[in-house]
């Protein structure tokens, strides 16, 4: 018989791992709520009409498509089935797909529910997404995104609040991070400055890889994309900027003084940094001109967060987009958002062993089972413990004492309650601290007080 397995790029999570993941989700959720964001959910499946064409050609290939139910082959002739183009065939066989991210479904949600929404609309969403990518370390086919977006407001205060949210979340996790900020308007200005305005996309894609592949490889890619030698030379001092945020902005401001859009980008970043400097953030915010972020719908500020103590890719990212809902026929609605990478944050917290003990604890109190009479005595005490918020269980079978104590040990139960004939006669219970081995004879109120403390 074949051993059961799960699809590549997906994972099972044990109770301990779920405790850790819930700690991550609960922390992020509580910070989102602290800043006035409201939770929504969208279906795992969207129509392909909603999804296709929103992520570029590469993204379309990575969409998981869902076969139509019923006799889905009836309308396709055999020749087309054998010789047909796979993408064209998929469009006939499938009307639905699993969502690729949370942003496009959110844009669809805003357009569909426009009349019910109060703008600006601040939403957060914590749900899984699916990509038919090649699985590798840190990259999965099913993973969670934790997104927060504000739509219907052009104010840069939204960008500032999102930076404060990032800072608060990672401070609560105890993770030291560097928050990198850039602006797509500056990148557009740079493309104009080197007289390659029509090549903004390949320029940003190439310089986004600077940290990973180095300057020489970036220059080689730019040359491959058809940039002239003069343009690449002109670009060198720009992408090799150094100094403080203020110094870098001064240099780039001077370079882009003749670019209206570039100047606007510099002004936006000056304002954001100016306010953040007075906001007492715990983590460093850095102007990084090489930050370009792959998705081409960003139009203003863009952000990325790196862990300082664990070598791993970006653990949070986002930016400003001016026309996301335009893809669904509702132009001109500006938005800005961030997405926390829960799976990478999980790996960082594991590497640094930063999970608080109370987030990992399951059952705090367990009652030993000696039989029906003893259970009848213990049940009201267990109920009282639960009423006081203590995670409590009763061993289901009257098994040997050693077996029950081993179970408590293996499940990291803090306290074991024992009630035999002597305890029942005295209307008491023996409470054992499994960490210290100390035992005490207590009444129900004392038991609750000790276990709670």
Summarize pLDDT for 137-176 with one digit per residue, the tens: 777 899 999 999 999 999 999 999 999 999 999 999 999 9
Report percent pLDDT > 90 for the chain: 67
Q: With cut-offs at 50, 70 and 90, classify the pLDDT of residue 332.
A: confident
Q: What is the mean pLDDT of the chain?
A: 91
58 has a pLDDT exceeding 90: no
Other beta carbons within 10 Å of 108? 21
3-state secondary structure of 131: coil
CA dist., res. 129 & res. 160, Å (int): 27
Residue set of the binding site for L-histidine: 101-103, 131, 145, 149, 293, 297-298
Q: Give the mean model confidence (pLDDT) for residues 57-64.
A: 87
Residue set of the binding site: 101-103, 131, 145, 149, 293, 297-298
Half-sphere exposure at residue 332, Cβ-oriented, CA atoms within 13 angstroms: 0
450 has a pLDDT exceeding 90: yes
Residue pair 393/364 in contact (Cβ under 8 Å)? The answer is no
- Ordered by where they begin, the domains of the chain are 15-47+99-352 (3.30.930.10), 48-98 (no CATH), 361-452 (3.40.50.800)
DSSP for 57-98 reads: HHHHHTPPEEEPSS-TTTTS-HHHHHHS-HHHHHHHHEEEEE
pTM of the model: 0.87
CA nearest to 49, candidates 115, 111, 124, 126: 111
Burial class (CB in 10 A: 0-12, 13-18, 19+), 113: exposed
Burial class (CB in 10 A: 0-12, 13-18, 19+), 95: middle
CA 258 to chain centroid: 39
- The 10s digit of each residue's pLDDT in 23-37 is 999 999 999 999 999
């Amino acid at each position: 018989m074949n051993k059961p397995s799960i699809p590549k790029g997906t994972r099972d999570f044990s109770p301990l791992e779920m405790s850790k993941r819930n700690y991550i989700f609960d922390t992020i959720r509580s910070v989102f709520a602290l800043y006035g964001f409201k939770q929504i959910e969208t279906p795992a499946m969207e129509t392909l009409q909603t999804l296709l064409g929103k992520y570029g050609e590469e993204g379309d290939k990575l969409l998981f498509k869902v076969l139509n139910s019923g006799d889905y082959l009836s309308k396709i002739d055999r020749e087309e089935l054998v010789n047909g183009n796979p993408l064209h065939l998929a469009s006939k066989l499938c009307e639905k797909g699993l969502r690729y991210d949370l942003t496009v479904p959110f844009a669809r949600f805003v357009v569909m529910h426009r009349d019910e929404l109060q703008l600006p609309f601040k939403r957060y969403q914590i749900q899984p997404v699916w990509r038919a990518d090649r699985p590798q370390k840190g990259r999965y086919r099913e993973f969670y995104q934790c997104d927060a977006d504000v739509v219907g407001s052009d104010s840069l205060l939204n960008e500032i609040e999102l930076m404060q949210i990032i800072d608060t979340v990672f401070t609560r996790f105890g993770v030291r991070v560097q928050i990198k900020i850039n602006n797509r308007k500056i990148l557009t200005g740079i493309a104009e400055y080197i007289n390659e305005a029509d090549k903004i996309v390949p320029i940003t894609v190439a310089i986004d890889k600077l940290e990973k592949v180095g300057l020489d490889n970036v220059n080689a890619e730019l040359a491959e994309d058809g940039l002239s030698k003069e343009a690449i030379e002109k670009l060198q001092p720009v992408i090799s900027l150094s100094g403080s945020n203020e110094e870098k902005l001064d240099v780039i401001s001077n370079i882009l003084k003749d670019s209206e859009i570039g100047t606007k980008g510099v002004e936006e970043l000056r304002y954001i940094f100016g306010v953040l400097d007075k906001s007492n953030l715990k983590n460093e915010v850095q102007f990084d001109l090489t930050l370009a972020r792959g998705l081409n719908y960003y139009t203003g500020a863009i952000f990325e967060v790196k862990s300082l103590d664990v070598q791993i890719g970006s653990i949070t990212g986002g930016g400003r987009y001016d026309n996301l809902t335009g893809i669904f026929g509702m132009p001109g609605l500006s938005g800005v958002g961030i997405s926390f990478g829960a799976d990478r944050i999980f790996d960082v917290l594991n590497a640094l062993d930063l999970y608080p003990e109370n987030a990992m604890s399951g059952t705090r109190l367990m009652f030993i089972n000696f039989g029906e009479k003893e259970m009848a005595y213990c049940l009201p005490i267990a109920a009282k413990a639960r009423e006081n918020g203590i995670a409590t269980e009763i061993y289901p079978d009257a098994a040997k004492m050693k077996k029950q104590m081993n179970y408590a040990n293996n499940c990291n139960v803090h306290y074991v309650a024992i009630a035999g004939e002597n305890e029942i006669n005295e209307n008491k219970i023996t409470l054992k601290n499994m960490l210290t081995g100390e035992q005490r004879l207590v009444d129900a109120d004392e038991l609750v007080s000790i276990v709670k403390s």
